[in-house]
């Protein structure tokens, strides 16, 4: 669950993105991931436009860990979202979006260093940029047996064709493993461009079986 507050031109607008994700192990190194997102958009304080809510484009990803040796691991994550959301209510792109990410990890006894690089072919009906890039680096620190601290920093291509600056983001949070099959995570995200500031409260639950 992500509660987002956008600030632009001196006004703030709230969004709430709730995503349910189901991951199924096809093999020891391959996972199939299905995501079902729901977006709630608050009213626009500048135009008075009413908000709305509904399901956003459904997603399907495959994560393949193609290399594991000692502390190193590498994975490819191709995926797609399908135009199931209502574009008239800004709940979808109106087209199929393709993506490919490379995920690398270097894990020590108490530390885990991660690097994410990716490209998104952002087909859409809103005249937004199509070729989007992502890069981020994260570090995780295990504290005791049940607590893990997380810090993530990255950059994404701006979807707005009129803007040249790309949004930078920073996430700080923790993962609390209450049980070997149950995690609770909480975090704070800040993101900014030359015209927009966004802050988000992140919360999530992970169940394994």
pLDDT tens column, 102-119: 999 999 999 999 999 999
The pLDDT tens digits for 173-187 are 999 998 889 999 999
Q: Report d(CA 28, CA 173) in Å as an integer.
A: 29
Quick one: average pLDDT of 14-24?
A: 96
Specify the pairing of strand 52-55 against strand 11-25: unpaired
Question: Does residue 206 have a pLDDT over 80?
Answer: yes
pTM over 0.85: yes
End-to-end CA distance of the chain: 21
* Confidence check: pLDDT of 65 > 90: yes
Between 31-40, 69-78, 192-201, the lowest mean confidence (pLDDT) is in 192-201
Residue 163 reports pLDDT greater than 90: no
In the prediction, which pLDDT does 193 show? 82
CA 40 to centroid of chain Cα atoms = 16
pLDDT of residue 49: 77
Query: Which residues, 6 or more positions from 181, have their beta carbon under 8 angstroms from its beta carbon?
Result: 207, 208, 209
Residue 47, SS3 per DSSP: coil
Residue 203: pLDDT over 90: yes
Residue length of the chain: 209
- Distance CA(154)–CA(190), nearest Å, equals 11
Q: How confident is the model at residue 50, as a pLDDT? A: 78
Q: 163: buried, middle or exposed (CB in 10 Å: 19+, 13-18, 0-12)?
A: middle
């Amino acid at each position: 669950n992500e509660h987002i507050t956008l600030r632009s031109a001196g006004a703030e607008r709230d969004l709430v993105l709730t995503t349910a994700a189901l991951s199924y192990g096809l093999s020891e190194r391959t996972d199939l991931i299905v995501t079902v997102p729901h977006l709630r958009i608050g009213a626009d304080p500048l135009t008075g436009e009413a908000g709305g809510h509904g399901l956003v484009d459904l997603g399907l990803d495959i994560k393949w860990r193609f290399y594991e040796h000692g502390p190193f691991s590498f994975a490819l994550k191709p995926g797609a979202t399908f135009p199931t959301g209502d574009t008239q209510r800004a709940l979808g792109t109106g087209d199929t979006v393709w993506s490919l990410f490379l995920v690398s990890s270097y894990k020590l006894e108490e530390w885990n260093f991660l690097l994410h690089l990716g490209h998104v072919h952002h087909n859409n009906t809103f005249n937004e940029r199509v070729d989007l890039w992502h890069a981020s680096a994260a570090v995780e620190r295990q504290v005791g047996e049940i607590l893990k601290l997380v810090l993530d920093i990255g950059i994404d291509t701006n979807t707005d064709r009129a803007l040249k600056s790309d949004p930078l983001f920073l996430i700080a949070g923790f993962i609390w493993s209450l049980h070997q099959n149950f995690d609770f995570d909480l975090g704070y995200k800040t993101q900014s461009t030359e015209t927009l500031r966004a802050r988000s409260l992140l919360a999530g639950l992970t169940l394994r079986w």
